[in-house]
């Protein structure tokens, strides 16, 4: 049933974003007094609809790639007052003041910003546990290696921004795409245990790259390394003298690079005395530990190729340690402030990325369309509800920023027309508006084709 996850996650993601956006327009339109004819999520043939007490038709349509709020306009020749008695005496859109019309146009993007704040508020209040962002030693010739880092590290800050996981690091580094100047990284070297700030000089960093490798170009390799973050009280690990922060580098002289290597060595050595080689605050130690035994039930095939399987019990070693994790949780009020700050930061980053696309610092091929969004939605849903909602918040901000661009057909384009009306003292001519809207429709269609081509190219 996994193949259903991607379309379902896509429809849920886009449906929520569009519903919030259009509901923003709807609420302010109702506040202004204008009569709302139709509130639609999606385009095309309605799947179902209902009419409220004020005569507004609410519709869920077949094509879930947007939505609209249709308002009564007394200039519309298609409006039949005789067939629609509820329109008699109704307030029309063009009879509103320019400021009400601006408020209606901006209400959609504002609703998407508000949705992002609410989601981040929930995420910060609910809290999360993430593996500490650690990297193996950078490769020869990488930017980090040339800047003086030649061993495994844990990353603490990127350009003064505190980071708790690789997603934070990815977003902080994304802001620097196409830049020249100094990138500052605060890291802890696992071997020495010393915190230091590394200055990495950038020169048109990954400028114009279609698929920028922000980690690889620096020499970062996101990993779960065998650094002890927790020692169980009374365990064999405690009796052996292991401590929080110990970096295990070998077991019985066999090197271990990742946490999985370390776990595998422990699990296959029940009741066996092991020599653990480790670094603690820059000092090399060798300790001896004997893993306890625990019985684990596994499912093993009765014979190769057999359809049936039977349970089997095996003995595994157990030492009583856990990796380094970072818990992020805030009280209700502080979580709200963090939600606002996160939304403002992501909004600034989105505007910056759009600006860099126009200047060529960031390739337009990094844009994603419906297919790409469906893939992201499905993958985030598989990763858990926190990841899915985090992607929803980021997409909501992107939708808000996109609609604020001064392109006819978008909310920002409507605002430009209304501002021109305020400055000139009269509405922009119908002919000019019609031509501009057709041009805007053409641009939006071209963008849709372009991002869909990008999506399909990535899949191929």
Which letter does DSSP use for residue 211 in this model? S
**The residue to which tokens 């209040």 are assigned:** 125
**22 in catalytic set:** yes
Query: In this structure, is the dihedral angle defined by the CA atoms of residues 257, 259, 260 and 262, taken in order, positive or negative?
Result: positive
CA-CA distance, 3 to 26, in Å (whole number)? 35
Cα–Cα dist 227/258, whole Å: 9
Alpha carbons 212 and 215: distance in angstroms, whole number: 9
Distances, alpha carbon 291 to alpha carbons 211, 283, 388, 389, in Å: 45, 24, 38, 40
The residue annotated as part of the active site, out of 2, 22, 254, 327, is: 22
Strands (E), 72-209: 128-131, 134-135, 153-158, 161-162, 181-189, 195-202
Residue 234 CB partners (closer than 8 Å, separation 6+): 320
Query: 182 has which bridge partners?
Result: 201
Cα dist. 219→57, 133, 141, 152 in Å? 56, 14, 8, 11
Q: Is 61 strand, coil or helix?
A: strand
Burial 242-277 (b: 16+ CB within 10 A, else e): beebbbbbbbeeeebeebebbbebbbebbeeebebb
Please count the CA atoms within 13 angstroms of the CA of 118 that sit on its side-chain side: 11
d(Cα 302, Cα 304) in Å, to the nearest integer? 7
What amino acid positions are annotated as catalytic residues? 22
């Amino acid at each position: 049933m996994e193949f259903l996850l991607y379309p379902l996650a896509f429809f849920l993601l886009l449906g929520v974003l569009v519903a919030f956006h259009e509901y923003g327009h709807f609420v302010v339109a109702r506040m202004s007094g204008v009569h709302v004819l139709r509130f639609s999520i999606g385009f095309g043939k309605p799947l179902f609809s209902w009419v409220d007490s004020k005569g507004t038709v609410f519709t869920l349509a077949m094509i879930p790639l947007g939505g609209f709020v249709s308002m009564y306009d007394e200039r519309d020749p298609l409006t039949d007052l005789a067939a629609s008695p509820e329109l008699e005496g109704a307030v029309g859109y063009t009879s509103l003041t320019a400021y009400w019309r601006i408020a209606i146009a901006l209400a959609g993007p504002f609703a998407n910003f508000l949705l992002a704040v609410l989601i981040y508020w929930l995420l910060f209040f609910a809290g999360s546990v993430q593996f500490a962002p650690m990297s193996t030693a950078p490769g020869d010739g990488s930017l980090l290696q040339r800047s003086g880092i030649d061993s495994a590290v844990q990353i603490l800050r990127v350009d003064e921004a505190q980071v708790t996981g690789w997603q934070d690091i990815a977003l902080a580094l994304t802001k620097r795409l196409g830049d020249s100047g100094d990138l500052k990284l605060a890291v802890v070297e696992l071997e020495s245990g010393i915190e230091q700030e590394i200055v990495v000089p950038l020169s048109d960093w990954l400028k114009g790259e279609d698929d920028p490798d922000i980690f690889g170009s620096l020499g970062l390799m996101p990993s779960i390394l065998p650094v002890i973050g927790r020692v169980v009280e009374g365990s064999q690990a405690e009796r052996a003298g292991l401590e929080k922060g110990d970096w295990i580098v070998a077991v019985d002289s066999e090197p271990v690079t990742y946490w999985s290597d370390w776990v595998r060595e422990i699990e296959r050595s029940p009741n066996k005395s092991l020599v653990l080689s480790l670094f603690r605050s820059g000092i090399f130690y060798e300790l001896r530990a004997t893993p306890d035994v625990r019985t684990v039930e596994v499912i093993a095939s009765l014979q190769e190729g057999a359809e049936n399987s039977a349970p089997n019990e095996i003995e595994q070693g157990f030492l009583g340690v856990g990796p380094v994790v970072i818990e992020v949780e805030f009280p209700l009020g502080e979580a709200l402030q963090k939600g606002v700050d996160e939304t403002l930061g992501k909004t600034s980053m989105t505007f910056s990325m759009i600006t860099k696309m126009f200047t060529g610092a960031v390739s337009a091929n990094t844009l994603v369309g419906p297919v790409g969004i469906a893939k992201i939605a499905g993958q985030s849903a598989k990763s858990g509800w926190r990841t899915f909602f985090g992607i929803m918040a980021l997409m909501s901000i992107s939708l808000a920023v996109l609609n604020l661009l001064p392109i006819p057909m978008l909310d920002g384009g409507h605002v430009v027309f209304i501002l021109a009306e305020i400055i000139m003292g009269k509405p922009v001519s119908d002919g000019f508006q019609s031509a501009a809207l057709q041009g805007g429709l053409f641009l939006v269609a071209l963008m849709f084709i372009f991002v869909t081509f990008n999506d399909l190219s990535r899949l191929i």
